[in-house]
Structure 1
Amino acid sequence: MANEWIAKGYAVRKVLKILEISPSTYYYQYKKEEKSVSEGRPIPGYSLTKNGKKIPDEQIQEWLMELISGEAGVYGYRKLCLRLRSEYALQINKKKVYRLCKELDILQPQREVKFHYPRKLARNRIITESNQLWEADIKYGYIEGEERFFFILSLIDVYDRSIIDYHIGLHCTGHDAGQLVQRALFKRQQFERETKPVIRTDNGPQFISLAFQKACETFHIEHERIPPRTPNMNAHIESFHRLLEYECLRRFAFHSYADAYHEVAEYMDFYNNRRIHSSILDLAPNEFYQRNQTEELTIKEVRL
C-alpha cells in the first residue's frame, strides 16, 4: 500500500505517517525487496603462483588433464590440489580444484569416462614436405587494462613453419579449434586430397572435447595427442609460442582486447611474411611455402 502511494508521487514521510509505519521499518522492507540474490564473489579466472604470476584457469585445467593422464590418475581433487601446489607452485585451494575438475568432468566417480574418445598417442614421424603434419596449441595473453586473459590458438605446418591459421578470442572451445582446422584445410586446399595432414596437439580441454573429435571425423583427418609432459613432441608450435611471447606479448601492456587483437594479428603477419628462418633457407614461411610449390627447394627432413 505504501509503495503504491509513493509511486503516485506522495511524499514518503507523509505516507508513512498516515499509515503509522516507522521510517526504519519501511526502509528495511524496501531494501529487502530490492536486494537481488547475492551471486557471491566473482570468479577471477586465474590463480597466483608463489612469485605472484597469474595463471589462467584454462592452463590449470590443462595441467589437471596431464596429471590424471599419468600416475596421478587415481587421485581425487584434494590430492590433485596438493600436486598443483608442489609441482607448479600454485596458490590454490581444494574448492577451486573441485570446481575446475567438475567443469572437466574428471571427478573421481566419473574418472573411467574422462576422455570422450580413445586417445591416439603421437608417434615418431619423418616429415619431408608441407601438409604432412600440423601442430596446434594455445597461448594465453594478458590484458592489463581489463585484468583478464585472452586466447591465441595457432596451427603450424612443421615443415614450412607457416602459421596456417589462428584464433584470437576471449574464449577458446573445442568448436573454435574445429573451425580453425576447417579454415586451414581450405587455405591449403586439402579437402579433396585423399591423404590429409595429421593434427598433433597436447591434452588440453579443447582438444579432447567432443566438438573437436566430431570436427576431425567430419573432415577425415587423423588427430594424435602427445603424452603428458612431452612438449618436445610438439616442438614447433612450442617454439613459435616462445617467439610470440618474447617478440610480441612481452613488448606491450595491452589496454583493451581490441589493442591485444591488433598487435597479435600484426605479429602473425610479420612472422609469416617477413621473419626469416634459417631452417627454411633464410626465407619467410609463406615465401618458402609458395616457392616450394613450383621449385624444388631442399631442406633437412623433420624428425619428431
Structure 2
Amino acid sequence: MTAAKQVRAQYTQEFKLEAVRQVSAGQAIAVVAKVLGIPKASLGNWVRQAAKGALSGAGGDNKAVGVSPEQMEIARLRAEVARLRMERDIGKKSRGVLRAGHAARYAWIHQMRQQYPVSVSCGVLEVSASVSFNWLRRPQDMAGRPSGRHSDEALLAHIRAIHAEVKGEYGWPRMHRELLARGIRVGKDRVRKLMQQHGIRARTKRKFVVTTDSSHSLPVAPDLVQRRFTPEAPNQLWSGDITYIATDEGWLYLAAVIDLFSRQVVGWSLQPHMQAGLVKDALAMAWWRRRPPPGLIFHSDRGSQYCSGEFQDALKDWKMRSSMSRKGNCWDNAPTESFWGRLKTASVHGHKFTTREQAKQAVMDWMAFYNHRRLHSSLGYLSPMQFEQRWYEAQRKKAA
C-alpha cells in the first residue's frame, strides 16, 4: 500500500497578517505562535516577509490560500485550548496581584509579557488592554527597559506585583535586588521606605517543630559535617530531611535533597507515607540527575528512615558517605530546616488543600521558583541555579 501523502499546513493571508500584527503590537513570537497553534518558525518567516513587504499567499500573490473547514476548525480548537491553559496559569500565578490594585496588575502584565500575551493577561486580570499597551510603550533605554526615574506610584506597582509573584517572601533587601535585576533602577532606601509606608513586608516563619523519630535501635552515622555547610564545589555535600503537609485527604510527606554548595534542590519525593522508600526515592532522583563522584557526604538527622538498612545500602551502592546530626539538635541540619521554613511560609501556611495532588502541585511550583529564580543573600543575591552556572563558567575559563 502506498503511504498517505502528508498534507502541509496552509493558512489564509488574513490569518498570516493577523499573526504578524500581534507580533508587531509587542507580543513575543513564541507566545503568539503558542496561542494561535502554529509553528514558531513559520511565524518568524511571516514576520520577516512582512518587514520586506513580501508577505503573500501561495505562489507569491496576495490571494488567500485555500484551507479546508476541518483544518480551520482544528486550528481554532488548538488556539482555544492554548488560551484556556494560559488563562488558568495566569489566574494561579497572579492571585495576589488582583488584591493589589490596577497599577500592580499592569506592572505584573509588563513583567510577564514574554511569557503570556498581553491581551490574555488583561482579560484574566480584568484591566484595559489599551492602557496596558500604553504602559509597555513608555520611553525605553538601550536594553529595551523602561527608562527614567519611576514615580512612587509606578515603583509601588512593581513592588506589589513582585510581592505577589514571590508569594510575600521578600523583605526590602531582596526586593531591591529583584528590582535591579529587572532593570528598574532605584535606591535601596527608597524601596525600604515605600514598603514600610504601605505595609509590604516578608511573611514570617513559624517556630521550628521537631518531627524526627530518633527513638530506635538502628545504627547511627557520625557527624562528618560539624556545621560546616559551605563546600567548595557542587556534589560534595548534600543534605536531606522530611516534612509533612496537611490535606483533606490526609498527610502528604515531602523528602528533599539539597546540594549545600548552591542550596539547589537536586532531588525530592512526595508520598502519602513516611517510610524508608520516601527518602530513598528522593536520593535516587538526585543521583540520576547529578551523577556525583564517589565520596560525596550525605548529611541528615537520625530519623529511622535515614538509618534504615534500605537507605544505607543505597548510599553504599552509590559510593556516598553517611553523616548524621546530633540527637534533637536541629541546628546540625540548619540549611534544610531553613529551606522548610521558606517553603511552608510561601506555599503551605494559610492555604487549605482539598487533595494531595493540589498540595503536590503547589510545592513543586514553589521548588521550581526556588531553584530558578529565588534570590539568596548567601549566594550574592543569585538563585541557586544562577550561582552554580556561574561557578561552572568560572571553572571553564580557568581551564582554558
Pairs within 5 Å for 1:279-290: 279-290=378-389
Name 2:235's counterpart in structure 1: 131
Q: Alignment length, in residue pairs?
A: 186
Whether the aligned pair in 2 keeps the contact of 1:137 and 1:237 (CA below 8 Å) is yes
Structure 2 counterpart of 1:272, one-letter code: N
- SS of 2:305's partner is coil
Whether the aligned pair in 1 keeps the contact of 2:240 and 2:256 (CA below 8 Å) is yes
1:123, CA displacement in angstroms? 3.8
Q: Deviations over 1:49-97 (max 9, x none)?
A: xxxxxxx9x93xx34x2xx5xxxxxxxxxxxxxxxxxxxxxxxxxxxxx
Please report the TM-score for the alignment, with normalisation by the length of structure 1. 0.57
Alignment equivalent of 2:244, drawn from 133, 140, 144: 140
Whether the aligned pair in 2 keeps the contact of 1:122 and 1:227 (CA below 8 Å) is no
Aligned pair 1:153/2:255, yes or no?
A: yes
Pairs within 5 Å for 1:54-203: 59=211, 62-63=212-213, 65=214, 68=215, 106=216, 114-115=217-218, 117-124=219-226, 125=228, 127-143=231-247, 145-146=248-249, 148-190=250-292, 193=293, 195-203=294-302
For residues 243 and 166 of structure 1, the distance between their equivalents in structure 2, rounded to whole angstroms, comes to 16
Name 1:248's counterpart in structure 2: 347
For residues 283 and 251 of structure 1, the distance between their equivalents in structure 2, rounded to whole angstroms, comes to 28
Percent pairwise identity = 24
Name 1:214's counterpart in structure 2: 313
1:259, CA displacement in angstroms? 0.6
Q: Deviations over 1:188-220 (max 9, x none)?
A: 232xx2x43210000112111111011111111
1:296, CA displacement in angstroms? 5.7
For residues 261 and 232 of structure 1, the distance between their equivalents in structure 2, rounded to whole angstroms, comes to 27
Whether the aligned pair in 2 keeps the contact of 1:131 and 1:196 (CA below 8 Å) is no
Name 1:17's counterpart in structure 2: none
Whether the aligned pair in 1 keeps the contact of 2:296 and 2:319 (CA below 8 Å) is no
- SS of 1:120's partner is coil
Segments of 5+ residues of structure 2 without an aligned counterpart are: 1-208
Whether the aligned pair in 1 keeps the contact of 2:220 and 2:307 (CA below 8 Å) is no
Name 2:191's counterpart in structure 1: none
Whether the aligned pair in 2 keeps the contact of 1:182 and 1:219 (CA below 8 Å) is no
Q: Which runs of 4+ in 1 moved over 6 A?
A: none
Whether the aligned pair in 2 keeps the contact of 1:201 and 1:207 (CA below 8 Å) is yes
Segments of 5+ residues of structure 1 without an aligned counterpart are: 1-55, 69-105, 107-113, 298-304
For residues 128 and 151 of structure 1, the distance between their equivalents in structure 2, rounded to whole angstroms, comes to 31
- SS of 1:275's partner is coil
For residues 196 and 266 of structure 1, the distance between their equivalents in structure 2, rounded to whole angstroms, comes to 32
1:122, CA displacement in angstroms? 3.6
- SS of 1:295's partner is helix
Name 1:278's counterpart in structure 2: 377
Tell which has more relative contact order, 1 or 2 (C-alpha 8 A, sep 6+).
Answer: 1
C-alpha spacing 1:271/1:119, structure 2 compared with 1 (3 Å): same
C-alpha spacing 1:205/1:279, structure 2 compared with 1 (3 Å): same
Q: CA RMSD of the aligned region, Å?
A: 2.2
Alignment equivalent of 1:258, drawn from 347, 350, 357: 357
- SS of 1:293's partner is helix
Structure 2 counterpart of 1:128, one-letter code: E
Alignment equivalent of 2:392, drawn from 270, 293, 297: 293
C-alpha spacing 1:136/1:276, structure 2 compared with 1 (3 Å): same
Q: Deviations over 1:107-142 (max 9, x none)?
A: xxxxxxx11x35323442452222111110011110
For residues 348 and 276 of structure 2, the distance between their equivalents in structure 1, rounded to whole angstroms, comes to 24
Q: Which has the higher helix share?
A: 2
Structure 1 counterpart of 2:367, one-letter code: M
For residues 232 and 354 of structure 2, the distance between their equivalents in structure 1, rounded to whole angstroms, comes to 43
Structure 1 counterpart of 2:231, one-letter code: I
Please report the TM-score for the alignment, with normalisation by the length of structure 2. 0.44
Whether the aligned pair in 1 keeps the contact of 2:267 and 2:284 (CA below 8 Å) is no
Name 2:331's counterpart in structure 1: 232
Whether the aligned pair in 2 keeps the contact of 1:203 and 1:225 (CA below 8 Å) is yes
Structure 1 counterpart of 2:238, one-letter code: W
